[in-house]
Structure 1
Amino acid sequence: MNKVSILLLILGLWSCSDTPQKLVKIEGKHVQISDSITKNKELEGYIAPYRKRIKDEMEGVLAFTPEAMNKSDFKFNTPIGNMMADAVMEMANPIFHERTGKNIDLVLLNYGGIRSGINAGDMTTRTAYNIMPFENEVVVAELASDELQVLIDYLVQNKVAHPIAGLQVILDAEGNLDEAKVNREQTRLRFLDGQVQKKSFYVATSDYLIKGGDRMDFFLKAKDIQTLDYKLRNLLIDYFKKKDTIAPARDQRFIQLQN
């Protein structure tokens, strides 16, 4: 055995020993991040073109809105919520129909998912990111009529301006359900006397709500779920590009009657 082999053998035996290894010392250094730090010119030159491209994409004008919109503007339905739900209906339904041969009956998003308002003026890609900063995608749930009743009961009890489309909910003066309609006059739901057609309804929503988010547990009983591989944010961007001018309004889709 040569000297090299002996040395390797000794090192191997030493490394396999049961001698516990101890951490002797840890050193740290506090670095204050501020404008005083000198920029790395080489790195800055490398990043600059990408930064400019991202800024141009984010600030590029997609559409225009004449009035500012915020989710707190009204109680039961708002222009910004109506716009979002209508956008999902218009942009997602062709995809769903092409894949399944069926149509989306209604849309339900959640009030808390609207993360920003919209200022009057130009609407950009950044606008869509501000409204919907999450990576949520559009899914379509097949609900039986019984679960659709639970969905409407949820809206009646919450009395919050969750974005809806394809669905009309009318409350009486006391805040109880007076009438509910899907697809305007095409399907009339009479929950008060139990005369509900036993059929399926296709509800477009987000992959967050489909898991019972915001206490929407009725989605957990969906008969079937279709994922459209379409992020809500991208859908809004496409909708802005398509529409040019966005001027949604508060309407009669969720209202309360007065005495």
Structure 2
Amino acid sequence: MKKRIDTFFSLLIFLMLLSSCKKEKHLVKIEGTRIEINESISGNSDIESFIKPYRENIRKNLDSVLAYAPETYSKRDGKLNTAIGNLMADIVLEQANPIFRSRTENTINMVLLNYGGIRASIPKGNVTARTAYQIMPFENSIVVVEMKGNHIKKLIEYLQKSQQAHPISGLKLTVDTNFDIAKALINNKEIKDEETYFVATNDYLYDGGSQMYFFKQAGKSYTLNYKIRNAMIDYFKKVDTIAPIVDDRFTQIN
């Protein structure tokens, strides 16, 4: 008798499952309520106590003084090159070169970054890690691209057309009133079509960001796994005072 009952219930459960599988369910309505986050919402003391030491440690790391800026430096303080842009490009060249040289026995010849990648000014006063995060909030890493001189000329054509203060280092350009090239030098030498140059940039630009398609068209690339922001922080740690200037690396003559 027990066996029959067990068999009956097993059959019943099977039929119920089979029936439920055949039923189609349709979404009838979705309801939601907007909850505004404002000062009326009280904090949770337990959560606040838990995160407080982490918050204080982050603030301590971000706000520790690394260097000093005697002036405020903005990306709007020059037409074709700016103090802050020059500083960023020079930092990439100085900080990335030892890493690149140790891995390849080659030297970075020049740097090209993008004007839009500078997201804040450096205010007069103490320079901290937070300063670097404000200037470069993105996770962009340094990439070195192997480029022949004829591809460097495409890079230069891009700078001619954009007519913006894209940060450069190692490259010196002089243009006339029509933005035609009067002089183009890398490390104060004429650019040769078949010579190989190593150009540092970031992964966003290497992938075609800001329409810099010439990088991927060039040749071999080397990823250093070194964020530009970290390069800036490392540089700030080893100097006492920063003093970037607008110079003659990209100028226009009458």
Measure, in 2, the Cα distance between the counterparts of 1:84 and 1:206: 12
Deviates more, 1:134-143 or 1:235-244: 235-244
Matched, 1:162 2:158: no
Measure, in 1, the Cα distance between the counterparts of 2:31 and 2:79: 57
One-letter amino acid matched to 1:249: I
CA-CA distance at 1:106 after TM superposition: 0.2
Deviates more, 1:7-16 or 1:97-106: 7-16
Matched, 1:104 2:100: no
Matched, 1:188 2:194: no
Counterpart of 1:133 in structure 2 is 137
Measure, in 2, the Cα distance between the counterparts of 1:32 and 1:149: 54
One-letter amino acid matched to 1:247: A
One-letter amino acid matched to 1:123: V
Measure, in 2, the Cα distance between the counterparts of 1:134 and 1:147: 27
* CA distances 1:113-170 after superposition (whole Å, capped 9, x unpaired): 1111111111111111111111111000011111001111221222211100001001
Q: CA RMSD in A?
A: 1.5
Alignment of 1:197-236 (within 5 A): 197-236=193-232
Unaligned runs of 5+ in 2: none
* CA distances 1:178-219 after superposition (whole Å, capped 9, x unpaired): 1111112xx223xxxxxx351111000010111121121211
Q: TM-score, normalised by structure 1?
A: 0.91
Unaligned runs of 5+ in 1: 190-195
Identity %: 47
Measure, in 2, the Cα distance between the counterparts of 1:22 and 1:164: 59
Measure, in 2, the Cα distance between the counterparts of 1:166 and 1:33: 50
One-letter amino acid matched to 1:244: D
One-letter amino acid matched to 1:201: Y
Contact 2:150–2:193 (Cα < 8 Å) also in 1: no
CA-CA distance at 1:11 after TM superposition: 2.7
One-letter amino acid matched to 1:87: I
Secondary structure of the 1:34 match is coil
CA-CA distance at 1:6 after TM superposition: 4.0
Secondary structure of the 1:249 match is coil
* CA distances 1:206-238 after superposition (whole Å, capped 9, x unpaired): 101111211212112121000000011111111
Counterpart of 1:123 in structure 2 is 127
Measure, in 2, the Cα distance between the counterparts of 1:173 and 1:181: 19
Secondary structure of the 1:53 match is helix
CA-CA distance at 1:59 after TM superposition: 1.1
Q: TM-score, normalised by structure 2?
A: 0.93
Measure, in 1, the Cα distance between the counterparts of 2:27 and 2:163: 60
Alignment of 1:137-152 (within 5 A): 137-152=141-156
Measure, in 2, the Cα distance between the counterparts of 1:57 and 1:255: 39
Counterparts in 2 of 1:249 and 1:10: CA distance versus 1, 3 Å:
same
CA-CA distance at 1:81 after TM superposition: 0.4
Measure, in 1, the Cα distance between the counterparts of 2:96 and 2:86: 15
One-letter amino acid matched to 1:5: S
CA-CA distance at 1:173 after TM superposition: 4.2
Measure, in 2, the Cα distance between the counterparts of 1:39 and 1:58: 24
What is the aligned residue count? Answer: 249
Measure, in 1, the Cα distance between the counterparts of 2:33 and 2:150: 62
